[in-house]
Amino acid sequence: MAAADEALSKAGLHFDELNKIRVLEPEVQQQTVQLRDECKTFVDKIDGFQKIVGGFIIMMDRLANEVEKEKMKAIGSRNLLKSIAKQRQAQQQQLHALIAEKKMQVERYRMQYAALQKEEDEQIDCIDQFILQK
């Protein structure tokens, strides 16, 4: 039987543990099965990794969208603050102009009061002189 096994081996045919004829040597067949199993495990791990990465990408996309929304809100708020600051500055300038105008008006009233008081004093002096002359 050993001679028959040798002749079959030279022809590239081998018997496995179940005495079935195989084209591959049993050791090569075993290595092939082991490689197939390792490849299947590797492919399963790659699939799991792709699912994890896919979930991560989806999560990052959502986060990027939220960041973009918050960024737009921040830009809007900053623009609003700039607008309010400009309005406040314009209002402050208007109030300064109004204060200057009111100061000028007070000074005019003060001068007018002084002039009227001088006139009153002159009239009182005239009345007093008129009374004394009588």
- Give tens-digit pLDDT for 44-100: 999 999 999 999 999 999 999 999 999 999 999 999 999 999 999 999 999 999 999
Residue 29 Cα distances to 16, 35, 107, angstroms: 9, 10, 114
Question: Using one digit for the tens of pLDDT, what is the confidence trace for 18-51?
Answer: 667 666 666 777 888 899 999 999 999 999 999 9
Residue 16 main-chain phi, psi, to 5 deg: -95, -170
3-class SS of residue 66: helix
Task: State residue 75's pLDDT score.
Answer: 97
* Cα distance between the two ends of the chain: 175
Domain boundaries, the chain: 2-133
Task: State residue 99's pLDDT score.
Answer: 98
Residue type present at position 71: K
Query: Taking the complete model, does pTM exceed 0.95, yes or no?
Result: no
CA distance 88 to 80: 12
Task: State residue 28's pLDDT score.
Answer: 74
